[in-house]
Structure 1
């Protein structure tokens, strides 16, 4: 498969996937490549940068969203106590006054989190990918 960045005569940019360069040429010549925004078939290939894998040892590039999630994780971890798999029990104990009030983070099964919310315990899921566990 080959991915082309395409542009119509109205200036709209979009991507198209084709089996090969010849498949693009044949499909385009038949008038079957149309702009995804306006439907124009006056489409041409746009300038593209090849997808080159990062050099070994080079830092991988991350999206702005991934960078924001990493910053959020650092903030949470720096300003709360990690309670691990005891999160549901500890959150409930804090809410009921049986444990000192403080910010915590940890893991809970979806049904545990749902129960906490039903009980009025203020919790929120965080969109973090679990860290890799090492031996």
Structure 2
């Protein structure tokens, strides 16, 4: 058995248990996985603290403390900032260009409208949304 942290397109997080990763993929494709809150079937796997190694090569402890979550959130934000190209408002356009082979695939970050997100989903483009602090979202911030 394997447990995944899942999130629906409306932002509700929940856990799902599957026989293996292929079982998750099959059930998702068939629309059998639904959010227990809103029953939305557009769900995606979320990063889990069990899958993120710390600097010492150990998995962060699962204490549930708000401080631990804040630290983990900051580590993720720092990693994305350092390892993803910031394309700002051109996120959807750049994702579509990579999807159709117009530009080379690369890690990108930015923002998009709900209409652009719907287009990306309709085109079969996977993306991950996560909140950022107001300091991180200001492109003019140093």
TM, length-normalised to structure 1: 0.49
Q: Which has the higher contact order (CA 8 A, sep 6+)?
A: 1
Q: Hey, which of these two has a bigger chunk of helix by percent?
A: 2
Q: Whose Rg is larger? A: 1
TM, length-normalised to structure 2: 0.47
